[in-house]
Amino acid sequence: MSDGKLSYKEKKVITIGIVSEITGLSQRQIRYYEERNLIFPERTERGTRKYSFSDIEILGDIADKIEEGVQTFEIRKDMIKKAKGKQTREDVNKMIRGQLNAHFNIRK
């Protein structure tokens, strides 16, 4: 299901040197944010990290937070919260649909 064709934005194909150029972050910083579980590059067969455009956007967000003085641990918590928020919104939709169905099926 989650296999096969991903959009260009999500495909992990960019090496760390180019990510560093684009983001302006050092390779050390980029690797450290991975160590802190903020980004998850894939690896080539022989271990070279590969990033997506999406990862580059996330790195930009991380850099902003860091500049604001937010610690990586906090950034991670926010990311988890947001991920859960998305999930919750979907669940809420399901619940609403469930309720509507229950409502309109009362007399059925």
Count of Cβ atoms closer than 10 Å to residue 35 Cβ:
10
Nearest distance in Å: CB 26, DNA: 3
3-state secondary structure of 14: strand
Residues 37-66 close enough to bind DNA by CB under 7 A: 44-49, 66
Nearest distance in Å: CB 33, DNA: 7
Return the bridge partners of 12, or none. Answer: none
Report the residue count for the chain. 108
Interface stretch with a second copy, choices 7-15, 70-78, 87-95, 97-105 (CB under 8 A): 7-15
Long-range Cβ contact pairs of 65-68 (< 8 A, separation 24 or more): none
* Token couple for 78: 């926010």
- Give the nearer residue to a second copy in terms of CB position, either 57 or 91: 57
Could you say whether residue 44 binds a second copy (CB under 8 A)? yes
Contact positions toward a second copy, by CB under 8 A? 7-9, 11, 13-15, 17-18, 21-22, 44, 50, 53
